[in-house]
Structure 1
């Protein structure tokens, strides 16, 4: 049996009970998704896919990766990306394709027993199902990457502490990627605010090793190239002991134990006097 003959027979099978098959397909898929997508939405997605699938088969091709099935793959790409954004698993995504095999099987058995055509069709759906998983995987990777970048941005704020002074409170591990974000955001803040003093607070950094020290040093050097001076605050006793034990040399970089000490130092460098005043009566 030629490929054209098989595709013609498949078109016949899909056309005889097209509306019923489409409804059963939508019911199966909706059930597998646990009701997280409405029956109407699933019906719309699969009806477009069913129409495109029949149209491709009418052209006599059974190669799911050929140009003939371009529209089918485009619809599957959209469906896979939607499922990835909605938090479905790869299996739940691929079942939208594979469920059609289960729906069509009774029709093949009861209407002439065209097993050969069905097997060809099952192979086609396997190819399309694997395609959905490939697209889903890429979409999830892009989504995770975008979320990671957003978290990195949120975890590295730059705040204006005083006129001419900006602060970068760091929390968590400081690696190469995060160092670049810190550097870029701090330098941009120096430009935007016209500041000449920056404080990098590492109170929330759990440990300082040689690599972290190098990252901090690079950030300070970059700020100096912009005409700003940096102070590193948050040097706790444990951190100080680790730095000494590792033989890390911060050179002429000013370090302070607390953010308050660092801010006081920066204000003095800016020519501002910091003093305590007695509280007024009634306050």
Structure 2
């Protein structure tokens, strides 16, 4: 964008109120409607972006290089807009459409007496708005990926709770596929709780693990080894007949590790190892 085109664009952007109004109308064209709060949000976003864009153009910023420092404030506004919409669950298409709708009110004001000069300015403005929209979509995608990764991490932590069953006895009920990521979360969470509570025995319940293969067994063995390094012992519960057959067939060595068919049996063993005796209270007449 040369100086002539820049000045033409700055001149076209003078009527801020009208541009923002037409911008919002273009954004909402074909939509079922927007609430008053939604319109106010759009107006605030459009007004802020228009103002920062005008400042960047006045400073002589190169429209072809949005990564330059001169565009820093514009990038901040675009990124804030994208992150806000991504967090609200809006899609990338609507976010991009909002920026692209900025073209119509600008094009309307760029029509001049010299068609050839106006055509060059329109083309330069079109490229600039397209770059703004592209930057917005890129930021939106990065934000969505961050949200997904954070949600996955939250789900991992929620799916591997550490429960205190008895004094000195912790339990971790495993549900779903046990992979490297979940194993790491289990080990970190469990070891932290062992240190915090001073527990000496941990029960890993795999009742909810659908299948046990060599990789899953390796993850379990690593977890048991880490627990033992902390001075605690481990019991694996939830060993169903199918899983027992698979472990034998794969030649997986679980010697030295106590195993039980159910969490109740594992808890009974844990209490016995800690010196507790469980007796049924006799019925009184």
TM-score, normalised to structure 1, is: 0.93
Cα deviation per residue 1:163-213 (whole Å; 9 max; x = unaligned)?
111100010011011101111111111111111111000000000001111
- Partner secondary structure for residue 20 of structure 1: helix
Instruction: Point out the more displaced range, 20-29 or 178-187.
Output: 20-29
The answer to which of 259-268 and 93-102 deviates more is: 93-102
SS at match of 1:161: strand
Q: Is the 8 A contact 1:30 1:42 kept in 2?
A: no
Please give the secondary structure, in 2, of the residue aligned with 1:157.
Answer: coil
Cα gap change, 1:129 to 1:280, in 2 (>3 Å): farther
User: Of the candidates 146, 170, 178, which is equivalent to residue 174 of structure 2?
Assistant: 170
Instruction: State the partner residue of 2:64.
Output: 63
Aligned to 2:42: 42
Alignment correspondent of 1:85: 87
The answer to which of 217-226 and 25-34 deviates more is: 25-34
Q: 2:133 aligns with which of 125, 129, 134?
A: 129
> Distance between the aligned counterparts of 1:100 and 1:204, measured in 2?
53
User: Measured at CA, do residues 104 and 195 of structure 1 come closer, stay the same or move farther in structure 2, by a change above 3 Å?
Assistant: same
Counterpart in the other structure of 1:105: 107
Residue 96 (structure 2) aligns with:
94
Secondary structure, counterpart of 2:13 in structure 1: helix
- Pairing 1:267–2:271 present: yes
Deviation at 1:33, TM superposition (A): 9.4
* Residue among 24, 33, 58 paired with 1:26: 24
Paired residues for 1:1-283 under 5 Å: 3-15=2-14, 17-30=15-28, 35=34, 38-61=38-61, 62-65=63-66, 66-109=68-111, 113=115, 114-281=118-285
Q: Distance in 2 between matches of 1:172 and 1:111?
A: 69
CA distance, structure 1, for counterparts of residue 32 and residue 99 of structure 2: 13
Distance 1:112 1:23 in 2: 27
How far apart, in 1, do the equivalents of 2:174 and 2:33 lie? 42
- Provide the C-alpha distance between the structure 2 equivalents of 1:53 and 1:220, rounded to a whole number of angstroms: 59
Moved more, 34-43 or 200-209: 34-43
State which drifts further: 271-280 or 102-111.
Answer: 102-111
Report the secondary structure of 1:38's partner residue. Answer: helix
Contact 2:8 2:110 in 1 (8 A): no
Change (3 A) 1:189 1:254: same
Contact 1:3 / 1:60 at 8 angstroms: preserved in 2?
A: no
Indicate conservation of the 8 Å contact 1:30/1:38, yes or no.
Answer: no
* RMSD, aligned CA: 1.9
Aligned residues: 279
Q: How far, CA to CA, are the matches of 1:64 and 1:25 in structure 2?
A: 24
Find the aligned partners of 2:71 and 2:114 in 1 and give their Cα distance: 27
Consecutive unaligned residues in structure 1, runs of 5 or more? none
8 Å Cα contact 2:172/2:204 also seen in 1: yes
Alpha-carbon distance between aligned partners in 2 of 1:171 and 1:72, rounded to the nearest angstrom:
46
